[in-house]
């Protein structure tokens, strides 16, 4: 019996499911995302992928028996927080810090703003707190920065706070956040025991989350935010995941559903710290990009994902994934390791409006999403979108939208665009369409160059475009910037799902620690200085082994990787170092660890930043426990001739570019072969994406079926 892996990426607009067999072959199914019940969109995309694999409808009823793993990434927890639809959560914290969630940090008020906006206070705003002030209770206790109990826990205050929140306020979950609990969790553990006793006495059952378990790291507000998100949103999000799992069980799937964590690991949906999966969607793209880069020998990659709702971007340097340990999430900072991904509200479903006060074009940041979608779908939306403009310009094929599954009414797009955009601007409809798309491309281009890539030389990086709208806008937002190369792939529409299939099953734990290793100290003193780090490694390793063994894995399947975050003392940025040694017991171990740090530092930063003989400062320790999984693979194909085969040539279509109509060559992407070459002006169409090749660009398909694009005059 053939074995398959299924991986899903449920974005704000579309849900992609990729099926991979044991030989590494893959297909992508696509459907509209259904936020009210994500299992609907998931199963629609899943069945389409089965169809592409040639699996008959009757066999699909029991196809789940051939699934070895099913992986989900998506927006269930994100939607829960956006819509403020989580549990009514109560907070028990150190007395005097009851406003820790409502007040937040000043830095949170300008998350996602440009410098021109940051400098004007009227643009800054605090998000609505997940825990309003009336649901926060302070109790007397204090542990100092060294973990010593300074003021004992007043247990009667904890009991009173618990009864007020559970009985008086009808809370559905409790978060406990005490100062310095990441050093000594004694007070939080005791408070949790008291809360559970009150729950038992009142006949209630609800999640009780401790910051020392959820995020045992310094930075109190971020740790509190993490714990609150876990208490507020993890259970409601898990219910969505359980529905998907139930649907898979109905077709014979015999295992648990897996999800992707923000740092690129795969885990069970019953994972205790599920908040780490809150931003799982864009992660698959970076993981897939790193694997693709390792095959083609490119280790500096700018990853750009154009969906229907957002534009997500990340940068891989020297093959190293960017890890952010305090990422921004929905207007707050959380202590959760996550791949460094920046997002803006810019996608193919972005709304186009005219500001009545200024008569200027305003793009988004909101989007039509998968439902109701662009106006041409006639599903209830009457506000023009970017894809309406793409359709009117002839770039999108009205008979091939989502492979022809969706009926497209071009006349509706024309009428609404003329009424709501072109006429208020006093412009021709097609000129207005082109102006809107050019504006979106400039926004995406500036986001890459002026934000993500500041301080980096573009000539060292390959720009990779993916997502359903990635190939559509890739070359226009690449612009005239001197990237080393610009590439995309035929499976761009499901690339994040494909990247999810490239991941190993992994759990990761972090804990704050401080170790200073001076070059002037003796060898014994330097080894001794690292023992707090070793102690944290041992503690985290034991906890992770216990988790994975409980999930049914054997010890010999599990690989343990200690990680240290190291900086030169006095500098502000630390570097993630995968330790080449399991412990630090000798000078040789020290040399190996800090030698790896020096190597990573040199690859990431200019040598001018490196001090001579500086003191090493370890700020955090982590352990990653990994179990290898079945993955897709890039297959090398023989090269065909430069001319695309006859079955790939669809003819010509009129496209509006630079104020004029032109004849553009149209190709069928599924029939294109490695070795084929195409000159713009051209459009290469697939069922789940469209590659637009402007005039002046050349496309070459390599032996791995990767599309390399260069300017003809370069």
227-286 pLDDT, tens digit each: 999 999 998 888 889 999 999 999 998 888 888 888 877 888 888 888 888 777 678 889
Rounded to 5°, angle at Cα 322 from 101 and 320: 160
Q: Is the dihedral of CA 265, 268, 274, 277 positive or negative?
A: positive
Q: How far apart are the first and last CA of the chain?
A: 51
**Which has more pLDDT, 630 or 302?**
302
Counting Cα atoms < 13 Å in the Cβ hemisphere of 373 gives 18
Model confidence at 304: pLDDT above 90:
yes
Report the distance separating Cα 299 and Cα 292, nearest Å: 9
Residue 310's pLDDT band (boundaries 50, 70, 90)? confident
Comparing 369-373, 456-460, 669-673, which segment has the lowest mean pLDDT? 369-373
Considering only CA atoms, give the Rg of the chain. Answer: 27
Percentage of the chain exceeding pLDDT 70: 98
Encode pLDDT of 573-583 as tens digits.
888 899 999 99
Counting Cα atoms < 13 Å in the Cβ hemisphere of 201 gives 11
Tell me what pLDDT residue 607 has: 66
**Which has more pLDDT, 507 or 438?**
438
Q: What are phi and psi of 175, to 5 degrees?
A: -110, 135
Rank 191-195, 520-524, 626-630, 632-636 by mean pLDDT and report only the highest. 191-195
89 and 171 in contact (C-beta within 8 Å)?
Answer: yes
Encode pLDDT of 470-497 as tens digits.
999 999 999 889 999 999 999 898 888 8
Encode pLDDT of 589-606 as tens digits.
999 999 999 888 887 776
Shortest CA distance to 492 belongs to which of 33, 30, 48, 74?
30
Tell me what pLDDT residue 608 has: 64
Peptide bond into 372 cis (omega under 30): yes
Residue 68's pLDDT band (boundaries 50, 70, 90)? confident
Q: What are phi and psi of 582, to 5 degrees?
A: -80, -20
178-193 burial, b at 16+ Cβ within 10 Å, e below that, comes to bbbbbbbbbbbebbbe
β-bridge partners, 20: 5, 26
Q: What are phi and psi of 214, to 5 degrees?
A: -75, -45
Encode pLDDT of 352-366 as tens digits.
999 888 889 999 888
Average pLDDT of the segment spanning 136-165: 96
Which domains are delineated in the chain? 4-80+238-277 (3.30.420.40), 88-206 (no CATH), 283-346+440-501 (3.30.420), 350-439 (no CATH), 505-627 (no CATH), 646-698 (no CATH)
Residue 114's pLDDT band (boundaries 50, 70, 90)? low
Q: What are phi and psi of 608, to 5 degrees?
A: -65, -20
Residue 609's pLDDT band (boundaries 50, 70, 90)? low
Contact residues for 86 (Cβ-Cβ < 8 A; gap 6+): 80, 130, 232, 233, 236
- Arithmetic mean of pLDDT over the chain: 89
Model confidence at 651: pLDDT above 90:
yes
CA distances from 628 to 285, 329, 536, 556, 560 (A): 19, 29, 25, 11, 12
Tell me what pLDDT residue 270 has: 85
Contact residues for 553 (Cβ-Cβ < 8 A; gap 6+): 505, 627
Average pLDDT of the segment spanning 9-34: 80
β-bridge partners, 487: 464, 708
């Amino acid at each position: 019996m053939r074995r398959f892996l299924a991986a899903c990426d449920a974005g704000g607009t579309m849900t992609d499911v990729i099926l991979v067999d044991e030989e590494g072959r893959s297909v992508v199914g696509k459907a509209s995302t259904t936020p009210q019940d994500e299992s609907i969109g998931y199963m629609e995309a899943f069945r389409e992928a089965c169809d592409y694999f040639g699996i008959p409808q009757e066999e699909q009823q029991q196809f789940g028996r051939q699934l070895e793993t099913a992986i989900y990434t998506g927006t269930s927890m994100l939607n829960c927080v956006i819509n403020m639809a989580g549990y009514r959560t109560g907070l028990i914290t150190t007395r005097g810090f009851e406003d820790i969630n409502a007040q937040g940090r000043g830095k949170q008020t300008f998350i996602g703003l440009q410098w021109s906006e940051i400098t004007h206070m009227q643009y800054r705003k605090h998000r609505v707190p997940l825990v309003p002030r009336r649901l926060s209770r302070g109790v007397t206790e204090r542990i100092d920065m060294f973990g010593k109990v300074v003021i004992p826990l007043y247990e009667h205050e904890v009991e009173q706070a618990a009864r007020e929140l559970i009985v008086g306020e009808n809370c559905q979950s409790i978060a406990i956040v005490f100062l310095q609990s990441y050093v000594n969790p004694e007070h939080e553990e005791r408070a949790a025991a008291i809360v559970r006793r009150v729950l038992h006495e009142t006949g209630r059952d609800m999640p009780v989350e401790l910051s020392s378990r959820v995020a045992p790291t310094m930075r109190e507000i971020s740790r509190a935010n993490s714990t609150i998100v876990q208490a507020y949103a993890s259970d409601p999000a898990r219910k969505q995941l359980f529905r998907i799992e139930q649907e898979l069980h109905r077709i014979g799937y015999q295992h648990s559903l897996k999800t992707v964590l923000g740092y690129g690991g795969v885990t069970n949906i019953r994972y205790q710290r599920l908040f780490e999966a809150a931003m799982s969607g864009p992660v698959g793209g970076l993981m897939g990009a790193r694997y693709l880069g390792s095959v083609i020998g490119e280790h500096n990659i700018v990853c750009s994902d154009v969906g229907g709702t957002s534009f997500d971007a990340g940068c891989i340097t020297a093959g190293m994934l960017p890890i952010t340990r305090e990422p921004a999430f929905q207007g707050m900072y959380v202590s959760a390791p996550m791949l460094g991904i920046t997002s803006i509200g810019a996608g193919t479903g972005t709304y186009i409006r005219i500001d009545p006060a200024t008569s200027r074009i305003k793009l988004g940041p909101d989007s039509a999403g998968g439902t109701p979608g662009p106006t041409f779908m006639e599903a209830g939306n009457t506000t023009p979108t970017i894809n309406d403009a793409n359709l009117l310009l002839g770039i999108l094929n009205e008979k091939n939208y989502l492979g022809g599954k969706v009926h497209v009414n071009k006349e509706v797009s024309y009428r609404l665009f003329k009424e709501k955009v072109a006429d208020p601007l006093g412009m021709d409809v097609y000129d207005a369409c082109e102006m809107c798309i050019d504006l979106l491309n400039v926004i995406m281009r500036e986001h890459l160059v002026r934000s993500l890539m500041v301080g980096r030389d573009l000539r060292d990086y390959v720009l990779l475009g993916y997502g359903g709208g990635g190939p559509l806008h890739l070359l226009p937002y690449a612009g005239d910037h001197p990237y080393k190369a610009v590439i995309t792939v035929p499976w761009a529409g499901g690339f994040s799902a494909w990247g999810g299939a490239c991941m190993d099953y992994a759990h990761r734990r972090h804990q704050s620690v401080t170790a200073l290793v001076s070059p002037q100290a003796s060898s014994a003193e330097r080894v001794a200085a690292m023992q707090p780090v070793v102690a944290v490694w041992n503690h985290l390793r034991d906890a992770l082994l216990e988790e994975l063994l409980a999930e049914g894995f054997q010890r010999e399947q599990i690989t343990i990787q200690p990680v240290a975050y190291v900086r030169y003392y006095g500098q502000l940025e630390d570097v993630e170092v995968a330790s080449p040694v399991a412990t630090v017991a000798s000078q040789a171990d020290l040399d190996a660890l800090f030698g790896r740090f020096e190597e990573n530092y040199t690859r990431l930063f200019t040598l001018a930043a490196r001090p001579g003989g500086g003191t090493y400062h370890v700020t955090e320790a982590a352990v990653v426990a990994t179990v290898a999984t079945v993955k897709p693979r890039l297959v090398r194909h023989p090269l065909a001739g430069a001319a695309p085969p006859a079955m790939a040539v669809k003819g010509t279509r009129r496209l509006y570019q630079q104020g004029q109509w032109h004849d553009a060559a149209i190709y069928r992407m599924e029939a294109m072969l490695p070795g084929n070459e195409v000159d713009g002006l051209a459009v290469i169409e697939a069922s789940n994406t469209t590659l637009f090749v402007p005039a002046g660009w050349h496309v070459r398909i390599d032996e791995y079926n990767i599309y390399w694009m260069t300017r003809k005059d370069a």
